[in-house]
Amino acid sequence: MLRTDNDEFKALHAYFLGRLVPVSEALLSAAVESGEVRSDVGAQELMRGVGNLCIGAADTHYNARRLVDLLLTGLRHA
Compute CA distances 28 → 34, 39, 42, 49, whole Å.
Answer: 10, 9, 8, 14
Domain count of the fold of the chain: 1
**Structural domain for 11, as ranges:** 7-75
Would you state the pLDDT for residue 2?
A: 53
Return the pLDDT at 1.
Answer: 46
pLDDT mean over 54-77: 79
Q: Which residue has the higher pLDDT, 1 or 5?
A: 5
Assigned domain for 2 exists: no
List pLDDT tens digits, range 42-52: 998 888 877 78
Look at residue 64 and tell me whether its pLDDT is greater than 70: yes
CA distance 31 to 34: 5
Classify residue 22: in a domain, yes or no: yes
pLDDT tens column, 9-29: 788 888 988 999 999 999 999
CA atoms within a 13 Å half-sphere pointing along the CA-CB vector of 9: 6
In a domain, 1, yes or no: no
pLDDT at 38 over 50: yes
